[in-house]
Structure 1
């Protein structure tokens, strides 16, 4: 039975989504989602505190719930939310990992929550996975019993893994399972590879709370963020219950709330094709979306659609109120034609600023547009927001240290100091344990590698060296994959650059599905700095959003499409090739086996093909952008 939301009111900046098997809320901003989830947890804690009862939470770690945990910290600090009678059971942990390891779930929950609230240390529990394998079963049984002795879990906060898992309940887990040891799926290990600086260092086993344990909780908050979760969300909550997708078992829970940001909700029927669920109100964006969808499912160019295509694909209402088909098709055809723009910053001289979260995002994501901006005579700046030093292989750092030592020997330059640095690098690499961060010297060398590659790539695209800015934002300087939240120093650095450059047009990575999370954090900092410009009555530039290497905008979302010629794409490829440390095999490639240049070209040519299939002009490749609506993410 489909969940009904007609009797409820969605919180501000969110909407109920029809068509799913559970109560589903889609939020405009991830911050609103975090605030809603934290408020639900806080309400339970406060009601239990007033009744003199303990609140028992089952929590997970990872990037998805961190916003919720930060909001709980804020509620504790500003509204005196009392955690003294809260007990937390971590629902998973890696086998054999030291509890103090930066990758352990215990370390993570301390960093993101418990070290910042007044919860007793003894009330934060995790299975002891450091015992011998023959004792793991007894540890699991004792952990399960402890949960039962505490009356079960009041609230579970969980997410959805890339293979549909919940906690570490991998595909084909048993519905009535309890806390146990499990073998990690290759997809899960690959997703965790960046945390451990390589898939080979990810443990092969973990302890997980079972599906039965989770489903016995009195309330479940299931969170999902980003486009990369959209397909799984649809499969788990619009499809049937299946052990192939363990998250689908959550449909059985009577008090489950599925909380999504808009990208994660993007493939649900109620978001993607709401006209299939019944009558609806039509506006310009929805008409565009529906007619483009019809062109795809009918396999016809826009101007070839007829009335019957609308009728057989459940678009009777649209045809009746806005038809005939010819009128609707021409309307959307003109909308799409208006997106094609050879000169995205106009023809008059402008100052353009591309913010690149990592040192290669500029040329990978909008290298063709950079080429076009330079050709159009615009003063084109690039701001590299982070060093990207964690994404360099150890052997590359050692090679550079060795090269510099030999370079100095050849030219008789400070031989003793360069030899000492090389020794420090070798000692640091030899003593580093799998998954541990680098020492400062190695981090600096890896940052230098990314700096030199970024400069060479931008120059290859036509940019001037004096227009390249390396910001090295403080939030990134942790030496590990886990980054700090955006701080005042980050925003001020960006604000100062905006005042210095005075751009007319700013390009920002709007790819919120970035597996590293850095794109999302950088966008947040940029938007805060732009807001400060507005507050201080400074000119605010036009803001165009591009996508990173992971995803492309859907056709109906694209507002500007920049045509690229074969020569443009060839030059873009050469610019990407300047990032030698990321070529052939990147340290954090994600789940896509293609190299970054291949992803970029396939995406750009795929966008052009999609335009062509709609009956629009046939281009070799297209880079796509949307306009920022002025709202924070």
Structure 2
């Protein structure tokens, strides 16, 4: 855990990951509840929804079940709710709170308050007035839990919301609706309005705890902590509150000046740290748009790096050192070059060939994220396996499902292969999809067809890359198979299946998705399953594990920073084209994926742009020029 010195009113704490951070926040809430119990008073909590607080609620449930934490004296007020919204809808925050917290603890139903998304519009204003009055009647909120949106909204207080705003009906920003599209199976199904506590209401809480996880929140966290208070970023008004705790994981805090460029923030820097030196030098070169080898003493002195220069000597020696480090990350042999001096190569020469296991969270992440490297590993003779960790069945359009069901029925009718015609299946699927409500969970038959569609596409991409069918492994991890965007937490079965596959293949190289910006959380859970499986195998003294290296790639959302990259695999124009063709095998994701996230480009477009950008940065820093580069970071366990 690292505490940062921020503006006096914002206490920023960065934890190693969201699990540790969530547990710490849950303990803080539990301490408040117990303190109020000892005083014979209610503990009044303001509660948030969304992905950020889910682990906090899970830990509170654990504290209730295992350590006797009672919620009988808790009074809760939720921040917001979509409008209109039936309470039993999959997307309802009433349902969210029941599933994650209220149904698992002993809170009194009469003490639970959530904005009512079912009210006629003419009653909304009076309800909002009464909501404020109820908060005041119990003495105000003791602790308000918050998340933060990419627009800087807290609750549903979108840009334009001032510090005097109260509980009200508000129109949602386009970005907010885009971010919510996955939960509603399409942006067109997202309500355009919501009920929310106002910024002024939030600021009246005695204590505020704001949570943010992942790289996707890093930019807005920087604006909230370091920017001037402004209606354009409502979260900046938290700077005016006397007691705000900003609780982050490493990724969410990455853009804060004290983390990204500590030499500009007056933070003492430990310059013998080679990683910090590399970060500083690449930052300086990019800031000045100069190749590393052209940086001068004056460049260092005039840009906050005089201490580095004083401790390390002339600019020339620093430049050479960092340039060589970057040069040594580049390799056209991601599996290691046989019979070569590997002293300065990112991968070992031996053993060769290697058994390689590529974990792909969804059925297309392998080719989207590292398709060029995958093709090269196969061509260079390695035994390449791909493990598709989830079915990806929620990311298929309904009309695509109907088309495949119709094909099966027509094929069956033409060749009369079955005593019970597949036409029956087609009619069942067609009837279900015709009557399917927005956001409704697919029937088991529809889920199965969608999973088979994605499985077939993954097999086609593997064949194109030269991977035999028996080296494509479909894990269908249970945490994913809910039929909903919201998944289960990682479970023992997910870890067991991962351990079994690792034992089966005994890889000497593992590739896994380290893309924590994945907006749906699937990558995070899949990576957690791999990490836990490897840790358990290590603890058990597994004989093949010491010879295995783990490389992390990024997905469609973000690339590694240049100073983090430990292996850079260059791609020629032909290799980039072949990678694109492998991505095209995933036809259900072509033209318009069901869940595109904030970036509306197709996945192949994002992938190529990212690869070309990485190559361009290497070129600008004075290294060799390539068409594209795929980047990796090693995880040492």
TM-score (norm 2): 0.96
- Look up the match of 1:7: none
- Look up the match of 1:10: none
Q: How does 1:108-507 map to 2 (within 5 A)?
A: 108-278=96-266, 279-282=268-271, 283-347=273-337, 348-414=352-418, 416-507=420-511
Distance 1:92 1:65 in 2: 14
TM-score (norm 1): 0.96
Distance 1:245 1:155 in 2: 22
Report the Cα offset of residue 123 of structure 1. Answer: 2.2
- Look up the match of 2:553: 546
- Look up the match of 1:556: 563
Report the Cα offset of residue 121 of structure 1. Answer: 2.5
| Residues 549, 636 of structure 2: 8 Å contact kept | no
| Residues 9, 242 of structure 2: 8 Å contact kept | no
Report the Cα offset of residue 16 of structure 1. Answer: 2.5
* RMSD across aligned positions (CA): 1.1
Report the Cα offset of residue 506 of structure 1. Answer: 0.6
| Residues 457, 587 of structure 2: 8 Å contact kept | yes
| Residues 6, 225 of structure 2: 8 Å contact kept | no
- Look up the match of 2:340: none
Report the Cα offset of residue 565 of structure 1. Answer: 1.2
Report the Cα offset of residue 124 of structure 1. Answer: 2.0
Instruction: Give the aligned length.
Output: 618
Report the Cα offset of residue 18 of structure 1. Answer: 4.5
| Residues 47, 78 of structure 2: 8 Å contact kept | yes
Q: How does 1:26-45 map to 2 (within 5 A)?
A: 26-45=14-33
Report the Cα offset of residue 29 of structure 1. Answer: 1.4
Instruction: State the secondary structure of the residue aligned to 1:416.
Output: coil
Distance 1:508 1:74 in 2: 30
| Residues 409, 415 of structure 1: 8 Å contact kept | no
Per-residue CA distance 1:118-139 (angstroms, 9 max, x = gap)? 2123322212220111111111
- Look up the match of 2:572: 565
Report the Cα offset of residue 497 of structure 1. Answer: 0.4
Distance 2:363 2:232 in 1: 38
Distance 1:627 1:406 in 2: 50
Report the Cα offset of residue 20 of structure 1. Answer: 8.1
| Residues 21, 237 of structure 1: 8 Å contact kept | no
Per-residue CA distance 1:567-616 (angstroms, 9 max, x = gap)? 11111100000111101001100111211001000100110000000001
Q: Within the alignment, does 1:87 sit opposite 2:94 as a pair? A: no
Q: In structure 2, do the counterparts of structure 1 residues 198 and 20 end up closer, same or farther at CA, with 3 Å as the change threshold? A: farther
Distance 2:532 2:109 in 1: 35
Per-residue CA distance 1:539-590 (angstroms, 9 max, x = gap)? 3221110001000000011011011111111111000001111010011001
Report the Cα offset of residue 400 of structure 1. Answer: 0.6
Per mean C-alpha deviation after superposition, the further-off stretch among 577-586 and 532-541 is: 532-541
Distance 1:627 1:29 in 2: 18
2:623 is aligned, of 608, 616, 625, to: 616
Report the Cα offset of residue 415 of structure 1. Answer: 6.4
Instruction: State the secondary structure of the residue aligned to 2:486.
Output: coil
Unaligned runs of 5+ in 1: 1-12
Per-residue CA distance 1:109-166 (angstroms, 9 max, x = gap)? 1111122222123322212220111111111111111111111111111111011111
Q: In structure 2, do the counterparts of structure 1 residues 628 and 19 end up closer, same or farther at CA, with 3 Å as the change threshold? A: farther
| Residues 560, 625 of structure 1: 8 Å contact kept | yes
Q: How does 1:7-18 map to 2 (within 5 A)?
A: 13-18=1-6
Q: In structure 2, do the counterparts of structure 1 residues 583 and 17 end up closer, same or farther at CA, with 3 Å as the change threshold? A: farther
| Residues 210, 245 of structure 2: 8 Å contact kept | yes
Per-residue CA distance 1:18-39 (angstroms, 9 max, x = gap)? 4786211111111111111111
Report the Cα offset of residue 280 of structure 1. Answer: 2.3
| Residues 499, 533 of structure 2: 8 Å contact kept | yes
| Residues 17, 25 of structure 1: 8 Å contact kept | no
Report the Cα offset of residue 281 of structure 1. Answer: 2.0
| Residues 362, 390 of structure 2: 8 Å contact kept | yes
Report the Cα offset of residue 409 of structure 1. Answer: 1.4
Per mean C-alpha deviation after superposition, the further-off stretch among 589-598 and 407-416 is: 407-416
Distance 1:280 1:504 in 2: 37
Distance 1:84 1:20 in 2: 35
Per mean C-alpha deviation after superposition, the further-off stretch among 545-554 and 79-88 is: 79-88
Distance 1:533 1:187 in 2: 43
Q: In structure 2, do the counterparts of structure 1 residues 95 and 413 end up closer, same or farther at CA, with 3 Å as the change threshold? A: same
- Look up the match of 1:596: 603
Tell me which stretches of 4 or more aligned residues in structure 1 moved more than 3 Å. 17-21
Distance 2:111 2:586 in 1: 47
Per-residue CA distance 1:406-428 (angstroms, 9 max, x = gap)? 11112122263311111110111
Q: In structure 2, do the counterparts of structure 1 residues 549 and 415 end up closer, same or farther at CA, with 3 Å as the change threshold? A: farther
Instruction: State the secondary structure of the residue aligned to 1:460.
Output: helix
Instruction: State the secondary structure of the residue aligned to 1:56.
Output: strand
2:532 is aligned, of 528, 533, 538, to: 528
Distance 2:497 2:207 in 1: 42
| Residues 408, 415 of structure 1: 8 Å contact kept | no
Per mean C-alpha deviation after superposition, the further-off stretch among 341-350 and 360-369 is: 341-350
Distance 1:274 1:57 in 2: 36
- Look up the match of 2:343: none
Q: Within the alignment, does 1:574 sit opposite 2:593 as a pair? A: no
Q: In structure 2, do the counterparts of structure 1 residues 21 and 83 end up closer, same or farther at CA, with 3 Å as the change threshold? A: closer
2:42 is aligned, of 54, 57, 60, to: 54
